[in-house]
Chains A and B, each alone.
Chain A
Amino acid sequence: MATAQLSTAHPAPLRTRRDLSALLGYLLISPPVLIMTLLIFFPIIQSVLRTLFVENASTGQAAFSFENYAKFFSNRVLTNNLWFTVTETVWTVVALFVIGFPLSLYLRFSKSRIAAAVQILALFPLFVPGIILAYALIQFLGSHGSLDTMLRNIGFTDYATPYLKWNGIVIALVWEHIPFTVLVLTAGFRQVENSVIESARDVGANGWQIFTRILLPLVQRSALIVFCLNVIGVFGAFTLPYLLGPAAPMMMGVSMQQTFNGYNDVQGAETQAVITFLICAAVGLLYVHTITRPRVERT
């Protein structure tokens, strides 16, 4: 199936028909664009502004202030949560690359039946919703769970469960993000035509040279997208850290939910949300830059 192309404008024969078509085009796209603007961009901008302008209790006047942020960064529990989120993100993203890279390289070059089975299994988590995954992993990884039982049956008795620990979150988030990682990296590797590799081999290039000189540069775009979306996805995760992680420290998603639903502290939750936006902003910009950059043309 063709992927969405970005630049295929078809010139209409008549000028008036073209204007009419443009008008109709705007009309047709306006509903989703409006929803996106009102429910994604507007709330984010509003959140940023609202956390920066603090209302004075006595006068009722809003003035620019970092008070909300000062409150966040002076709270030991909250800064611990933030730091915890950063370390969890680093571990998860590193693990995803360590697992995803060789897996997709293998899937790119092997056409065996084993490869087909590996691909099906690697993409399988795409169809397991987070909430079910959380339940399944608790029963699988928990103490006296299936993994514990399997290990005990082969004589390994000191199993330490990652459930409710920091590494439980990493395992769950890796599980969840593996399909996306493999899918996008394999798509990147597939952009390299077989003929290119064969001709490189003909002129005497070895495997390492083919990897560093041909495969890596061409997979760069995919790898960047995987990196950015994994970082953002893990940073903004809620369900898996909430159900599999420790009660303290929490990841930011869990912390925000507790602040909002548990303590009814709307302002506090909003400040935390903006902090996660700001931390992810650099990665987000890198992502937007990567997808707007014209892709490498195939020759």
Chain B
Amino acid sequence: MTTQPQTIVLKPVRFLKTLRRETFGLIALILLVIVIIGPMLTTVMWAFAERWRYPSLVPTQWGLSFWEETLSRADVAAALPLSIGLALTVTLLSSVVCLPAAYAFARMSFPGRNALLLSFLATNAFPRFGLYISIAVIFFRLQMIGTLQGVILIQLVNTLLLMIWIPTSAFQGVDRALEEAALDVGASRLRVFLQVTLPLVLPALAAAVLLTLVSTFYEAQGALIIGLPNVKTMPVLMYQMINSSVVVQYGAVMSFILWMPSLVVLAFAQRFVRGGAISSGFGV
């Protein structure tokens, strides 16, 4: 387009042009950095602060002593394994229940298939906390308030939509010509499924399972209303720490520990779950 010497002259001009076109983007970026990163950075700094006197921008004294203090609390020591165990149990149950169903939704034809698939989306139409109260009332009558089974069930309900929709769309995305070619050269149906279909959908399935695991680990509202007073997960403990707010650092350290899995998933899931797959779970 342009010859060598001209580019040198044009560069600042082009830069100014981009700058003008990107004014909106630049303002949005600065605001987003303050508003989105600001609160998270504050939390991280609090987790590593011994002392933070107003109006200092950063902690006045850094240190790790509150980590020991938080982690040696009896309630935290009990809640962490409980939360991990719960998240694993719910995710396993959800996989067993939903993944075969997702295959059926994607690959088999039966009357009412579309309506049933859409009915999972339709559950979005109810205000979440109202729904929890409705479920809680039934559990109350069945004397399941404060039981582990109750918490498992309410968290399982929460996972259905994601575990049906992302895997269904993954199974639908597999090119059937590949499978038919494998069948033509004499592979058995099972072998085709294991060696052709499964490897193709595995990343999406793994992402769905991982997202479910993490979101269940963080699930707070259902666990609060069904689990109290006996089942106290990490997020339920967070409610208490924020409300009583004796030591700011406890909450910060808890947030930091709770947030780790999320960061891992962020790194992993963004490779496999593109925006389209997530937004499809809302009916876009």
Name A's B-contacting residues (CB within 8 A): 1-12, 18, 21-26, 28-33, 35-36, 39-40, 42-44, 46-47, 50, 102-103, 106, 110, 112, 114-115, 117-118, 121-141, 144-150, 152-153, 175, 180, 183-184, 186-188, 221-222, 225, 228-229, 232-233, 235-239, 242-243, 252-253, 256-257, 260-261, 266, 269-270, 272-274, 276-277, 280, 283-285, 287-288, 290-292
Assuming A3-B169, A114-B25, A135-B252, is B276 touching A237 (CB within 8 A)? no
Pull 30 A–B residue pairs with CB atoms less than 8 Å apart, ordered by A: A1-B170, A1-B277, A5-B172, A25-B110, A29-B104, A35-B157, A36-B160, A39-B135, A42-B138, A106-B24, A114-B25, A118-B28, A129-B259, A131-B235, A131-B238, A135-B254, A137-B39, A146-B39, A149-B55, A149-B57, A187-B279, A238-B128, A243-B243, A270-B133, A274-B130, A280-B130, A284-B122, A284-B125, A288-B118, A288-B121
Q: For residue B272, which residues in chain A have a CB less than 8 angstroms away from its CB?
A: 1
Q: Looking at chain A's contact residues, is the secondary structure mostly helix, strand, loop, or mixed? A: helix
Assuming A26-B110, A121-B29, A121-B37, is B121 touching A273 (CB within 8 A)? no
Interchain CB contact under 8 A, A273 and B134 = yes
Closest chain-B Cβ to A84's Cβ sits at a distance in Å of 15
Q: Interface code B72-116, partner A: CB below 8 Å = 1, 0 otherwise?
A: 000000000000000000000000111011011111111101101
Q: For residue A257, which residues in chain B have a CB less than 8 angstroms away from its CB?
A: 129, 133, 224-225
Q: In chain B, what residue has the closest Cβ to A134?
A: B242
Q: For residue A140, which residues in chain B have a CB less than 8 angstroms away from its CB?
A: 38-39, 42
Assuming A232-B124, A288-B125, is B242 touching A112 (CB within 8 A)? no
The residue that B125 contacts in the complex, of A28, A135, A287, with Cβ under 8 A, is A287
Distance, CA A270 to CA B136, complexed state (A): 9
Q: For residue A30, which residues in chain B have a CB less than 8 angstroms away from its CB?
A: 101
Q: For residue A112, which residues in chain B have a CB less than 8 angstroms away from its CB?
A: 18, 22, 25
Closest chain-B Cβ to A147's Cβ sits at a distance in Å of 7
Q: For residue B120, which residues in chain A have a CB less than 8 angstroms away from its CB?
A: 32, 36
Assuming A106-B25, A269-B133, is B220 touching A130 (CB within 8 A)? yes
Size category of the B interface is 35 or more
Interchain CB contact under 8 A, A149 and B54 = yes
> Does B2 reach chain A (CB closer than 8 Å)?
no
Interchain CB contact under 8 A, B109 and A25 = yes
Q: For residue B206, which residues in chain A have a CB less than 8 angstroms away from its CB?
A: none
The residue that B26 contacts in the complex, of A26, A32, A114, A183, with Cβ under 8 A, is A114
Distance, CA A124 to CA B124, complexed state (A): 22
Q: For residue B114, which residues in chain A have a CB less than 8 angstroms away from its CB?
A: 6-7
Question: Once A and B bind, how many residue pairs between them come within 8 Å at the CB atom?
Answer: 339
Interchain CB contact under 8 A, A290 and B283 = yes
Interchain CB contact under 8 A, A127 and B265 = yes
> Does B197 reach chain A (CB closer than 8 Å)?
no
Interchain CB contact under 8 A, A266 and B140 = yes
Name B's A-contacting residues (CB within 8 A): 18, 21-22, 24-26, 28-29, 32-43, 46, 54-57, 96-98, 100-101, 103-111, 113-114, 116-131, 133-138, 140, 153-154, 156-157, 160, 163-165, 168-170, 172-173, 176, 204, 215, 218, 220-221, 224-225, 228, 235, 238-239, 242-243, 248, 251-252, 254-255, 258-259, 262-263, 265-266, 272-280, 282-284
Interchain CB contact under 8 A, B165 and A4 = yes
Q: In chain B, what residue has the closest Cβ to A31?
A: B97
The residue that A287 contacts in the complex, of B26, B124, B168, B221, with Cβ under 8 A, is B124
Q: For residue B109, which residues in chain A have a CB less than 8 angstroms away from its CB?
A: 9-12, 18, 21-22, 25
Interchain CB contact under 8 A, A31 and B130 = no
Q: For residue B280, which residues in chain A have a CB less than 8 angstroms away from its CB?
A: 3-4
Interchain CB contact under 8 A, B36 and A125 = yes
Interchain CB contact under 8 A, A1 and B235 = no
Interchain CB contact under 8 A, A260 and B55 = no
Q: In chain B, what residue has the closest Cβ to A43?
A: B134
Q: For residue B235, which residues in chain A have a CB less than 8 angstroms away from its CB?
A: 129, 131
